[in-house]
Structure 1
Amino acid sequence: MPLVTVMAVACGLAVANIYYAQPLLDLLTRQFGIGSGTASLIVTVTQIGYAAGLVFLVPLGDQVNRRRLITWTAAGTGAALAAAMISPGFGWFVAASFFIGVTATCAQIMVPMAAHLAEDGQRGAVVGRVMSGLLIGILLARAFSGIVADIAGWRAVFGIGALTMFVLAAVLYRALPEEASAAARMSYPQTLRSVAALLRDEPTLRRRIVYGGCGFAGFTIVWTALPFLLARAPYHYGETAIGLFSLLGAAGALGANAAGRLHDAGYGRRAVAGFMLAAIASFAGMGLFSTHVVAIVLGLFFMDLGVQGVQILNQSTIYALRPEARSRITTAYIGCFFIAGAIGSALAGVSFELAGWPGTMAVAGLLEAAALAFWATER
């Protein structure tokens, strides 16, 4: 379990790097003398880099020594963050952001490694613990970035991040075990092509992509539209107060750790439905009682609990399909997951503009309800 804890913390620190720039966009517009539309390219390019890492880097976890791959990738993140810290201009910063996204995928190499190292009866709990660390890193990154930037400036955010990743690379090199790769005899092109073959040949993988994708689309809808709700009447919250709402998501991610234990106990299928119902109830509550902050607080907690619980159950299930292909399964699953999140972000803006917060929550709830209806067809 100490190794699992190290991997959970490492996953959180690694994936947090792609979110540091988001609260700083207004500050960066002033620093580089650009418009808000141009500044949004930072987030877009970082996400493109992350997608590229999922496609071209993560599958190597089934082909090469994972310990070395993770260590070098973490060090690469440190170098990219250092480049962002010393950026003399916007173009340099955008290029650094791309490589931050690419190398931050070392978190998605560690998750299947943790599943591989776990014993069969503990795999769900191990995946749950590591994924909880990853999810907490995502949720707390924005708050960390905003606080540090207020105190020491935006360059300090990336400087601290770079130092942290270099230290983390050294820790992981000492902590992670040497591990032979099951697909070492495959060529790199064959490894990439086999990802599509997994999607074609594994119906359980496709089904779990639907479960997770619908939930994550709803998740991104809420977090994308939430600042618009909280900045207006009756709340009129500032940016710092809005950022602190991410702590509620972190609490939900901690609770979702129990999902892995339910999987290990043999209750995985029923638990999926339970977590989906929790998410649906949260969307309904936040939509119906949008002027009550208690309803928003409870809704965010149970939404995160539900969505992340399904995510952990999904990964515990799909990693048992083909033990020799867990990194490529991660690419297939998280890649589709990533697409669903992008669709959710786009839907959030349109639905909030057309139907306000209640209509936006209705869209999120319908997506989760569709996943639940599809779950009912599972044998």
Structure 2
Amino acid sequence: MSTEAPATILSRNMLLLMSLLSGLIVANNYYNQPLLALIAEDFNVKEAAVSKISVLTQLGYACGLLFIIPLGDKVMRKKLMLIDLLFVIAALLLMAYATQIWLLFIASFLIGVTSVIPQLFIPIAAELSTPQKKAANIGLVMSGLLLGILLSRFVGGVIGEYLGWRAVFMLAAGAMVLSWLLIYKLIPNLQPNFFGSYGSLMKSVWQLAKTQPKLRLAAFRGAMGFGAMSALFTTLVFHLEGAPFFAGAAIVGSFGLIGAVGALAAAFVGRLNKRFSMYHLILLCLSILLSSWLFIYFGGNTYIGLIIGVILIDLGLQSSHIMNQADYFSIPTKATSRLNTVYMVSYFIGGSLGTYLAAQAWQYGGWPAVCIVGSMFSILALVAHLIFSNKNKTLIH
């Protein structure tokens, strides 16, 4: 492996590489969303049953964040990434060749657990950045991650419709082999900063959550925002396959491509913190997130209404996500991987809850009920920001 990198150097090429790898790896968690109808048809089960695939992937991701990402402060991150990627490849191949629905559930959970490497890149970007460039550098790495999330739905939908859903996961496994080689050749070693036991490492994660109100508020905002977006994308495939759309997986996946417009715009939000306070930027982002549901509900039976809604929900969520991370990474500590663990575990628990509640809402109340669920998540994020940011003035930069 390569020698240790100078701690003060974070080149543009390294940022771009981490952005690319983040997108490739995080995509594993989202390929399944436009494929749920195809999987349900293949296994002859109800839509509500296959929605568990998305829930289990997100819960698995939360588990990986909780138990794997803190190790980024304790062991060599490059070695951790290379070992983890081997398990990612195995999980994707299990998904591709599963012949029983319960094997899909296991594979989905394992894909989530292991596809957490992007959350090692983001602390690296924060740790090696100057305070002036921290938000912008996080935004650049996040832009790759966000595009991976959104484009995975498009790629998954198109490949799934024409080559079958299993081909999506076979190709994803190939992409992980490429990622392994890139990390092995190009990512430098970074020395760990925690030298205690794994048990004490995990206790310190809990201690950070208890003692840092800025981190707790960011985690709640992130969880509620991701719950709102998960509610939309989990049920969008079912909404579009019925009247008046009767759309296939490729069209459903294209909404991920549309959402990339919002994600790309969000990547530039980090540059605005020189002109506006963190408080007002997050307030704006969460207001955009909530407003998206007006278009999703009232224009939900038209493509134009859904397109505007998807762009706005991605812009609002991803912008607030970048601001949340810039906010809690400003806490004066070297425990960057552990800070990220608290936030991202909360984030994906929120996503899992949004997925579950939206699936139930769809089953019993259809699209209007889904919109209520998504709106409530958005409202909770906005209200928490208004109430607790005002109580904790240190949160406002």
Instruction: Give yes or no for TM over 0.5.
Output: yes
CA distance in 1 between partners of 2:378 and 2:49 (Å): 33
Structure 1 residue 13 corresponds to structure 2 residue 24: yes
Given the alignment of the two structures, is residue 80 of structure 1 paired with residue 91 of structure 2, yes or no?
yes
- The equivalent of 1:243 in structure 2 is 253
CA distance in 2, matches of 1:87, 1:361: 33
Partner of 1:328: 338
Q: Which letter does structure 2 place at the counterpart of 1:335?
A: V
Q: Is the 8 A contact 2:58 2:348 kept in 1?
A: no
Instruction: Check if 1:144 corresponds to 2:155.
Output: yes
Out of 7, 13, 38, the residue aligned to residue 2 of structure 1 is 13
Q: Summarize the Cα distance change of 1:115–1:283 in structure 2 as closer, same or farther, 3 Å threshold.
A: same
For the pair 1:298 / 2:311, whether they are aligned, the reply is: no
Does residue 211 of structure 2 align to residue 201 of structure 1?
yes
Pick from 222, 235, 241 the counterpart of residue 225 of structure 1.
235
Assess, with a 3 A threshold, how the Cα gap between structure 1 residues 191 and 370 changes in structure 2: closer, same or farther.
Answer: same
Q: Work out the CA distance in 2 between the residues paired with 1:92 and 1:347.
A: 23
Deviates more, 1:146-155 or 1:207-216: 146-155
Q: Please list the CA deviations of residues 165-198 of structure 1 after superposition, one character each: whole Å capped at 9, or x if unmatched.
A: 1121121222222211111x11101111111111
1:314 maps onto 2:316 in alignment: no
Contact 1:116 1:323 in 2 (8 A): no
Q: Secondary structure at the match of 1:324?
A: coil
Preserved CA contact (<8 Å) 2:92 2:170: yes
Correspondence for 1:109 among 93, 101, 120:
120
Equivalent-residue separation in structure 2 for 1:95 and 1:355 (angstroms): 29
Match in the other structure for 2:356: 346
Letter in structure 2 aligned against 1:221: A
SS class of match (2:191)? coil
- Quick one: which of 172, 183, 193 aligns to 1:182? 193
Say whether 1:122 aligns with 2:125.
Answer: no
Instruction: State the Cα distance separating 1:272 from its structure 2 match.
Output: 0.6
Alpha-carbon deviation of 1:204?
0.5
Report the equivalent of 2:270.
260
2:61 to 50, 61, 66: 50
Give the direction of change, closer, same or farther, for the CA distance of 1:350–1:43 in structure 2 (3 Å limit). closer
Paired residue for 2:143, among 132, 135, 141?
132
Q: 1:235 to 1:87 in 2, by over 3 A?
A: closer
Greater Cα offset, 43-52 or 301-310: 43-52
Give 1:47 shift: 3.4
Structure 1: distance between partners of 2:175 and 2:250 = 24
CA deviation string 1:195-236 (max 9, x = no partner): 111110000011112222222222122223333433343333
Match for 2:120: what amino acid?
I
TM-superposed deviation, 1:29: 5.8
Question: Can you list the C-alpha shifts for 1:14-69, whole angstroms capped at 9, x where unaligned?
Answer: 111123344445555676x5644765554444334323211211110011111221
1:122 is displaced (CA, Å) by 0.8
What CA distance in whole angstroms lies between the structure 1 residues aligned with 2:358 and 2:103? Answer: 31
**CA separation of 1:86/1:369 partners in 2, compared to 1, >3 Å: closer, same or farther?**
closer
Matched-pair contact (CA < 8 Å) for 2:51–2:234: no
Q: Which moved more, 1:194-203 or 1:320-329?
A: 320-329
Q: What is the count of residue pairs matched by the alignment?
A: 377
Structure 1's 120 and 108: CA in aligned 2 closer, same or farther, altered over 3 A?
A: same
Helix, strand or coil for the counterpart of 1:245?
Answer: helix
TM-score (norm 2): 0.85
CA separation of 1:225 and 1:178: change in aligned 2, threshold 3 A: same
For 1:300 and 1:9, the matched residues in 2 are separated by 23
User: Is residue 280 from structure 1 mapped to residue 303 from structure 2 by the alignment?
Assistant: no
Correspondence for 1:64 = 75
